[in-house]
Every structure is written in structure tokens, then in C-alpha cells.
Amino acid sequence: MDIQVYIALSLTLFTIGIVGVLVRRNAIIIFMCVELMLNAVNLLLVAFSKMHAASPAVKALPTYASDAQIFVFFIMVVAAAEVSVGLAIIVMMYRNIHSVDVNFLNRLKN
């Protein structure tokens, strides 16, 4: 398939993620939207990696094709760690204010 399709899909996913973070107030959904954005980036990385693998430049630099894919694994690991921390925060938040609405989290304001 053409690279443009992947880019379009990735951008769509990313935008959905951003809009979700911006407009939703539920912390869990915001969190999921953040994950969506991460995965949009992952998708793009993999797509470009595949595209480069077909190019003649790879012959000169063999690791060129696999760099991005390694990166993706790295991101997935970090994302997993992030999930554990983030969910913990959300749980704590729920315990404290009995809600996961981020708009209630404005105690620093005053």
C-alpha cells in the first residue's frame, strides 16, 4: 500500500487523540487518548521503516531498516511503564476526590 495511506491513518489517530485529551474530562479517557497518540506515532514509525527498507540506501547501511522498529518496541515498553504509573495516579485521584474528572484537580490554583 501507498505510504500516504499510513500517514493519513496515523494523523487521524493522532488528531483524535489530541482532541480527546483536549475536550474530555474523564481522566481515564484522556489517558486512553494519550495512548492513542503514542500508537499513532508508532504506526507511523513502522510505516516509514517499511518504506525505507525498500530503498537502495539500505544496502549501504543495513541497520537503517530496523532502527525505527526497535524504537517502536522501546516506546511500547515505556508506554507500559507509563500506564502503570498513570493508572496508579488515576486510582489515587479517585480515592481522594471520588471522581476522575480532571477539572476537579485545581487545588494548586489558589
Return residues touching another protein (CB under 8 A): 18, 21-23, 25, 30, 102-103, 105-109
Alpha-carbon span 14 to 7, nearest angstrom:
10
- Cβ-based nearer residue to another protein, 22 or 80: 22
CB of 29 to another protein, least distance (A): 12
CB of 109 to another protein, least distance (A): 3
CB of 34 to another protein, least distance (A): 10
59-to-45, 56, 69 alpha-carbon distances in Å: 20, 6, 17
CB 58 within 8 A of CB 64: yes
- Cβ-based nearer residue to another protein, 9 or 105: 105
Nearest to 53 by CA among 73, 70, 67, 72: 67
